[in-house]
């Protein structure tokens, strides 16, 4: 299959940011091709039983019509009765949104992108090619899973990042060490315990987190300010940016969901705050327990180590950008972006997690997807008019 498709805009990635942009582009008459697995990271690398931290006010539609609340109304569900929102509900909403917006997604992978005749040519895993004037890439956080340096010394097959471990049946009767102390660490501990693990140890360097309901309404002001004032995040002083980051961190990292403690109230789950792993020893094979030395002098046994250690930017880990990488300026691992998410390669835009350095940490959340779409299409209309 060597078909060539020409379009105004190619959207690489069919997660929240990609679908949101594709929908707005279509509504504004921009010929668009979207390539990727619809909500692929969410479907393949988030576990059944996961509950979202966001409420019904977070959605994908920049026009404000096909929102999550509209979906709940269509499905005869009440917003209050759907909180916390199960992963499956949001995935169903994304399918409903895609159908309502008539977004066609080519369920292939982009294997490479090259410059061609002032635009771009993307190669697809099925053998086809897409030529476009503009590329919007929305690489999901799955590309950027972060592991501590010592993880490389753990025997192969005995370690996984939380985003790579979403099926827990094989952990029944096992001992599991979870490194990390944020929402994913504690939620994975609850799920692993509920799947019959013999013991789950959670180890993290910071104090024990607070469990409480969090209002994310403060995100509204940040997102609306970004839409209203060009370069709003960049115009803030260093002190102001630090305050925003601290507020986001307090809500998103230092405070965990209040429904978690009841699910952790088990003799199987043990928490080790203000502590870290200082050594791992044991059988390099698939069986036999590992001895885990902690900084407090304790030693734990584990069959499996799970790293709930978050994500770190590194564009070199996005394979389809390899042909353009030497032309994409970066800073601290993030691409350097202009106010339309444009990189230093004219016509190439990056959004989602990759945009958080230049737009603020809240642009890594679904809440910002409609705003990112609005800013992008606003710039492209000016370019094409």
Average pLDDT estimate for 137-154: 93
Ramachandran angles phi, psi of 160, nearest 5°: -155, 150
2 pLDDT tier (thresholds 50, 70, 90): low
Q: Is 1 a residue whose pLDDT tops 80?
A: no
Token pair for 143: 């590309």
3-state DSSP percent of the chain in helix, strand and coil, to 5: 40, 25, 40
80 pLDDT tier (thresholds 50, 70, 90): low
Q: Is 283 a residue whose pLDDT tops 90?
A: no
Between residues 83 and 359, which one has the greater pLDDT?
359
SS3 label, residue 309: coil
Whose CA is closest to 61, among 20, 92, 101, 27? 20
Work out whether strand 110-116 and strand 119-124 pair parallel, antiparallel, or are unpaired. Answer: antiparallel
Average pLDDT estimate for 109-121: 96
Q: Which tens digit of pLDDT belongs to each residue from 189-224? A: 999 999 999 999 999 999 999 999 988 999 999 999
Share of the chain above pLDDT 90, in %: 89
CA dist., res. 269 & res. 58, Å (int): 32
Residue 385: what pLDDT?
64
Assign domain 149-212+257-307 to its CATH architecture.
3-Layer(bba) Sandwich (3.50)
CA dist., res. 99 & res. 94, Å (int): 9
Q: Which tens digit of pLDDT belongs to each residue from 44-55? A: 999 998 999 998
Superfamily of domain 4-144+311-384: FAD/NAD(P)-binding domain (3.50.50.60)
CA dist., res. 93 & res. 82, Å (int): 12
Cis peptide before 268 (omega within 30 of 0): no
Residue 82: what pLDDT?
59
156 pLDDT tier (thresholds 50, 70, 90): confident
- Which range among 181-185, 285-289, 363-367 shows the weakest confidence by mean pLDDT? 285-289
Token pair for 56: 């019904």
> Which part of the chain is CATH 3.50.50.60?
4-144+311-384, 149-212+257-307
Average pLDDT estimate for 371-381: 95
78 pLDDT tier (thresholds 50, 70, 90): confident
Q: Is 101 a residue whose pLDDT tops 80?
A: yes
330 pLDDT tier (thresholds 50, 70, 90): very high
Q: Is 155 a residue whose pLDDT tops 90?
A: no
- Which range among 64-73, 154-163, 164-173, 297-306 shows the weakest confidence by mean pLDDT? 154-163
């Amino acid at each position: 299959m060597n078909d060539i498709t020409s379009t105004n805009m190619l959207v690489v990635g069919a997660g929240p940011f990609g679908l949101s942009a594709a929908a707005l582009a279509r509504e504004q008459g921009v010929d668009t091709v979207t390539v990727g697995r619809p909500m692929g990271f969410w479907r393949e690398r988030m576990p059944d039983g996961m509950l979202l931290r966001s409420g019904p006010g977070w959605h994908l539609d920049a026009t404000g019509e096909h929102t999550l609340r509209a979906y709940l109304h269509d499905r005869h569900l009440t917003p209050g009765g759907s909180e916390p929102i199960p992963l499956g509900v949001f995935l169903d909403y994304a399918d409903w949104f895609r159908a309502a917006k008539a977004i066609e997604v080519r369920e292939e992978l982009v294997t490479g992108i090259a410059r061609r005749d002032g635009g771009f040519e993307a190669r697809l895993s099925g053998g086809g090619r897409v030529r476009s004037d503009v590329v919007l890439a929305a690489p999901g956080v799955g590309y950027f899973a972060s592991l501590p340096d010592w993880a490389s010394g753990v025997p192969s097959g005995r370690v996984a990042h939380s985003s790579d471990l979403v099926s827990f049946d094989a952990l029944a009767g096992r001992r599991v060490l979870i490194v990390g102390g944020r929402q994913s660490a504690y939620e994975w501990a609850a799920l692993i315990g509920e799947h019959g693990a013999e013991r789950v140890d959670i180890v993290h360097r910071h104090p024990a987190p607070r469990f409480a309901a969090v209002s994310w309404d403060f995100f509204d002001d940040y997102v609306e300010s970004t839409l209203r004032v060009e370069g709003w995040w960049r115009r803030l002083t260093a002190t102001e940016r630090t305050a925003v980051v601290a507020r986001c961190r307090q809500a998103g990292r230092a405070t965990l969901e209040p429904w978690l403690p009841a699910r952790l109230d088990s003799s199987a789950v043990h928490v080790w705050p203000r502590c870290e792993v200082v050594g791992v020893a044991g059988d390099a094979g698939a069986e036999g327990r590992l001895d885990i030395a902690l900084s407090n002098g304790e030693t734990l046994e584990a069959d499996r180590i799970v790293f709930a250690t978050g994500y770190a930017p590194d564009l070199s880990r996005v394979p389809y950008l390899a042909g353009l990488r030497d032309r994409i300026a970066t800073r601290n691992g993030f691409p350097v972006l202009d106010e339309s998410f444009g990189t230093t390669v004219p016509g190439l835009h990056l959004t989602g997690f990759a945009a958080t350095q230049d737009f603020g940490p809240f642009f890594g959340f679904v809440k910002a997807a409609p705003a990112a779409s609005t800013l992008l299409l606003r710039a492209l209309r000016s370019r094409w008019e």
